[in-house]
Amino acid sequence: MADFADNRLPVHGLDADAVLARLDDFAADDRDWRGGRVFSLVYNAGDDVLDLLTRASNRYSSENALNTMAFPSLGWMQHDIITITTGLLGGDRRPGGSAGVRGYLTSGGTESLLQATKTARDHGRVERGIANPNMVLATSAHAAFAKASHYFDVESRRVPVRSDGSADVDAMADAIDDDTVLVVGSAPSYPQGVIDPIPELGALALERGILCHVDACLGGFILPFLGTLGHITKEWDLSVPGVTSISADLHKYGYASKGVSIILYGDHDLARLQPFITSDWLGGLYGSPSMAGTRPGGPIAAGWAVLHHLGEDGYLRLAADAHRASSALKECILSTPGIALRGAPDATVFAFGADDAEPGIDTFALGDMLIERGGWFFDRQSPPPSLHATVHAGHAAVIDELCTDLAASAGELARTGVRAEDQSATYGTI
């Protein structure tokens, strides 16, 4: 690993090759995501797509989407991304079609969920006079909602999930009161890959007169194609009655560069609550659609480019590859003594670990051994102790090798009873 001891600004700058060489040195201990060894954080659609993303991003590496009057191309690309996403996420199947749907780009799923919460808080203030808002969501809903709760002073009411990992609608109904501004569903949830009962949550929101957000940040760019292929039959998108907003990350199964996400609102009046606008300073009218002021043009250009490069047939091919790889890994887990799936995952994201019915394997020791045996990296999560797998198209070529190593590792741990010294589970780091 590179030496960071001399962290002062160099008196004399290095030439470009020397700087790039140091970057290569820094990356020596990074995980091999290009080789399909990482089941988290990065989504790989192949070298040709990576090359396109790099070229598109580089063309807009200096442009700033803060002001699209200066860079109208970025405004046009954002509009095109939002229009395409509206069609994918059921906006054109709402009563009256997509005419009322409005949306914005954000820097990622966390920011989209922050915006959904802030918009719900403001809607509760304006339309219902709520001073102390709360939102109701399952324990499987993303941690970003806890951040939103902290940032925007919206009480978070977490409700335990059912045995299959899905949101318990009846328990969520019991948690709602007159100050509830938002009900949340996931499609799918991050921890166990389960699509919540969105039609029931939407109906609950309609009955109580509150907003309903679907967090499809993880599934928004694969579930539509898995549906076309016949692998998903659940209803989950903006076409579901009662769903008022939805988010999807283009940099996940859309295979775009980090970071670009989309949040859509089913009603333009609701969407108007998201942007911030002021003229209360000496610099003129300031308006921003999301948290950031300056917004890099590179991710926007790369997101637009990959949508038009892959097209529907490309995304169907990638979804088929991801589904095939995830099905093979699930089957391997189900057929390996001592380990089991968590919950009832619906798509290509799931968690697994020691089988409670057959104690003997330590889940995190299994994760350690997979790293040692083949460099396979899975996020750790808890409770319960689990290894998390986000399976994408880039894993299709190596999944058989992983299954071999997984079965061998589980067998060795069953014999030896080795436990991991580190039993912590970390999703994000500081």
**316 is a domain residue:** no
**Mean pLDDT of all residues in 70-76:** 91
339 part of a folded domain: no
- What the block records as the tokens of 417 is 């009873």
More confident residue, 214 or 423: 214
What is the domain count for the chain?
Answer: 1
The answer to the question of residue 16 being in a domain is no
- Percentage of the chain exceeding pLDDT 90: 81
The pLDDT of residue 349 is: 97
Give residue-wise pLDDT tens across range 305-359: 999 999 999 999 999 999 999 999 999 999 999 999 999 999 999 999 999 767 7
Mean pLDDT of the region 229-257 = 97
CATH of the domain at 85: 3.40.640.10
Q: Give residue 6's pLDDT.
A: 62
- In whole angstroms, give the CA distance from residue 348 to residue 248: 16
Residue identified by tokens 């969520």 is 172
Q: Is residue 152 part of a domain?
A: yes
Q: Is residue 281 part of a domain?
A: yes
User: Is the model's pLDDT at 4 over the cut of 60?
Assistant: no
pLDDT recorded at residue 293: 86
Encoded amino acid at 243, one letter: V
For the record, the structure tokens of 314 come out as 């490309």
Using DSSP bridges, classify how beta strands 134-138 and 155-159 pair: parallel, antiparallel or unpaired.
parallel
Residue 77 has pLDDT above 60, yes or no: yes
Domain ranges, residue 279: 59-307
Q: How far, in Å, CA of 273 to CA of 181, rounded?
A: 14
What's the pTM?
Answer: 0.92
Residue 1 has a pLDDT of: 47
Residue 24 lies in a domain: no
Q: Is residue 330 part of a domain?
A: no
Residue with the larger pLDDT of the pair 35 and 407: 407
Per-residue model confidence (pLDDT) at position 134:
98
What distance in Å separates the CA atoms of residue 254 and residue 299, rounded to the nearest whole number?
12
Does residue 354 belong to any structural domain of this protein? no
pLDDT in tens, 190-225: 999 999 999 999 999 999 999 999 999 999 999 999
Q: What DSSP letter does each residue of 108-170 carry, written as one string?
A: SHHHHHHHHHHHHHHHHHHHH--SS-EEEEETTS-THHHHHHHHHT-EEEEE---TTS---HH
Say how far residue 423 (Cα) sits from the centre of its chain: 25
